[in-house]
Structure 1
Amino acid sequence: MIRDSKAMIAGLTPLPDPATYMFCTVSTAALTPDMTSLARAMLREEEGVSLILSVEDAAELGLASAAPPMARITLGVHSALDGIGLTATVATVLADHAIPCNMVAGYHHDHVFVPLDQADAALQVLRELQLRGAP
């Protein structure tokens, strides 16, 4: 696992996911085993359970979202959970290009969710960041 911020940026390797995702929410009482098994990620919050689902799975489950459809870009670097600077650097460089992002950290990789219509631009920005190196 990589902890050094410059090494994390050098190994960024942004990988686009062809699927389209939705951020949905359900009450804890409404959460079903199907929702749990189909979710790419889920988080229990005070207001309910947030789910990240493919648009196809969300439709199959009858879930809708007011949030825009999102694309996922996986950062191929094996960053440590206690590594410093990766999330801040990625979020900042995307913000500098007016691209909103939602960062989700998994054990092995970080995942960047961006509005679907800005996915190509986000991918280009992240590739340029990797080539340029950490600020």
Structure 2
Amino acid sequence: MSAERNLQTLLRQMNPEMRDGIFVFSTLPADSKIPDAIAPLLTFSEREGTTLVMRREDADSIGQTWQFASRLITLNVHSSLEAVGFLAAIATRLADAGISINAVSAFYHDHLFVPADRANEALALLQGMSGPRSG
């Protein structure tokens, strides 16, 4: 399957799906080892430290402080890493509704972390952008 670049096709076929659980963002000092007791969904190294995105219960189990309790929505279209405007259209739609997002583009899909208390609303808005379109 080849990655899609056409914006209208991406929007029509995005098929957003919410993953179970609450995810949180945390950080460790740059020279720290990730505790073996957790399995972060995402890690990203910055000069200031290593960002960890993990399930809230994992962070709580090791006493790790965290921010941004969120739900994860995956856009189930194989989007090209070179696609233009896809995340911009989504971010604009959610911003118009006052919903923040933290987006991650992986090899196959784009993933959106949205505030846990607005996740159902975000999913409904994305579903409204998706599906059959004319013109």
Normalising by structure 1, what TM-score?
A: 0.91
Runs (4+) off by over 3 Å: none
* Alpha carbons 1:68, 1:115 under 8 Å: kept: yes
**Which protein is richer in helix relative to its size?**
1
Q: Which residue of structure 2 aligns with residue 95 of structure 1?
A: 95
The answer on 1:22 being equivalent to 2:24 is yes
Q: What is the one-letter code of the residue matched to 1:96?
A: D
Q: What's the RMSD between the two structures over aligned residues?
A: 1.8
CA separation in 2, counterparts of 1:89 and 1:132?
Answer: 17
Aligned counterparts, 1:1-135, within 5 A: 1-32=3-34, 34=36, 38-65=39-66, 67-131=67-131
CA separation in 2, counterparts of 1:110 and 1:132?
Answer: 20
CA separation in 1, counterparts of 2:108 and 2:47?
Answer: 27
Identical columns (%)? 32
CA separation in 1, counterparts of 2:77 and 2:97?
Answer: 22
CA separation in 2, counterparts of 1:7 and 1:61?
Answer: 43
**Aligned partner of residue 53 in structure 1, secondary structure:** strand
Normalising by structure 2, what TM-score?
A: 0.91
Deviation at 1:40, TM superposition (A): 0.6
* Alpha carbons 2:4, 2:83 under 8 Å: kept: yes
Q: What is the one-letter code of the residue matched to 1:112?
A: L
**Aligned partner of residue 90 in structure 1, secondary structure:** helix
* Alpha carbons 2:15, 2:131 under 8 Å: kept: no
- Number of residue-to-residue matches in the alignment: 132
Deviation at 1:41, TM superposition (A): 0.7
CA separation in 2, counterparts of 1:22 and 1:111?
Answer: 14
Q: Which runs of 5+ in 1 are unaligned?
A: none
Deviation at 1:123, TM superposition (A): 0.3
Deviation at 1:33, TM superposition (A): 5.3
Deviation at 1:28, TM superposition (A): 1.8
| Residues 17-56 of structure 1, C-alpha deviations (whole Å, 9 max, x = no match) | 1110000011122222527x61111111111011100011
* Alpha carbons 2:28, 2:51 under 8 Å: kept: yes
CA separation in 1, counterparts of 2:34 and 2:121?
Answer: 36
Q: What is the one-letter code of the residue matched to 1:16?
A: M
